[in-house]
Amino acid sequence: MRSMQKSLLVLSTAMTLVACGQANDSSLSGTAKLAPTCGVTPVCDAAPVAGTKTGFLSANPKGSPFHFGKDFYLNETQDQWVIAKFQYGSFLFRKDLVHEEVEIQLLRDCGSSWETLGKAFTSDKGEHAEVMGFEDLGGMVFFKLPTEKRLGLGRHRIRLVVSGDQTATELFLEVLPQGASLFVSDVDGTLTTSELIEGVAGVFGTVPPAHPGASALFTDLTKKGYRPIYLTARATAQVARTREFISVKKFPAGVIQTSSANTLGLSGVKGVEYKTEALQALEDRGFKIAYAFGNTKVDAEAFANVSISDANKYFFKFDDYVEYGGGVNHSNYATLNDVKAAPNLCL
């Protein structure tokens, strides 16, 4: 009987690791609790189900859609919210979509089949209370997942579809155990080859080049159990452009967070405040920010405002980080041997 119980325990553990995509990696022996942060991030590319346009309840919106959703890392105990904003217009002038129906769809665990979470109506400005630090600016959806549909540990893709014309936006929620380790990176100038090249690339519809070695370094960190957050001061609607860059340049998928700015992004004091608040929110949820990568004083000051070890802050060609504490100035991701030697959290 004791032998049979032991066999069942081994089988149960193996099945748990298979569910987390780790069964084929003999080097990973982390517990089931840690498993969602280990191994390769799921592809999460199941095609959504096509819907039918219902028409709008009010006048048809004019211009192009500028919808975006908010990615989050969540711990296991907190409320799970889907937050998104819907607008139409041009790059400079947009109008909120107010009091229109949005269907919320879920690809649970980045699996193969979509489910419907429910429907919601976009807001007029100020109709909804602030949630997770985000105020209701109008044209927004704040949807709290009901208890029976809560997300388990792992990565989940959410799609929000405007019923009227079937335009959509997506976001990702990842549920991690408290104590999970993250690494944070700025994007422009830190991962792209210059601070302003995204503006040029965006005009021509191309993806800006990335610094050599950065994606390989980040992929290695992810395989060791560190989850990435790409914290950029880009304008709020630049989530899709940023996600495209991360995908095309083969950075590991994670959480992408943009600022609240409408068109040009944030800099200076406002940039520092935004990044500090975002990092503090992650620490308040019980996560540890183990490594940080930036290239400006905004990054250096924000990193200094939270509990990131000075030894684990890396700045691309930026010597002035010393004004805000310790760190490492570098010009080549391939030379960051201390990061390459990061402890493997999956062992």
What are the residue ranges spanned by the domains of the chain? Answer: 64-175, 181-340
Strands (E), 272-320: 288-294, 313-316
Burial 128-153 (b: 16+ CB within 10 A, else e): beebeeeebbbbbbbbebeeeeebeb
Closest CA to 171 of 248, 92, 86: 86
Residue 19 has pLDDT above 50, yes or no: no
197-247 confidence digits (pLDDT tens)? 998 998 899 999 999 999 999 999 999 999 999 999 999 889 999 999 999
Q: Do domains 64-175 and 181-340 have the same CATH topology?
A: no
Domain 181-340: which CATH number of 1.10.3720.10, 3.90.920.10, 3.40.50.1000, 3.30.428.10? 3.40.50.1000
Distances (CA, A) of 214 to 106, 190, 217, 290: 31, 9, 5, 17
Strand 94-96 relative to strand 255-257, pairing = unpaired
Whole-number pLDDT of residue 184: 99
263-313 confidence digits (pLDDT tens)? 889 999 999 999 999 999 999 999 999 999 999 999 999 999 999 999 999
| CATH fold of 64-175 | Immunoglobulin-like (2.60.40)
Percent of the chain with pLDDT strictly greater than 70 = 90
Count CB atoms within 10 A of the CB of residue 56.
16
pTM: 0.89
**Dihedral sign, Cα of residue 329, residue 331, residue 335, residue 341:** positive
Strand 181-185 relative to strand 227-231, pairing = parallel
Residue 99 backbone zone (phi > 0: left; psi -120 to 50: alpha; other: beta):
left
29 neighbors 346 (Cβ within 8 angstroms)? yes
Percent of the chain with pLDDT strictly greater than 90 = 83
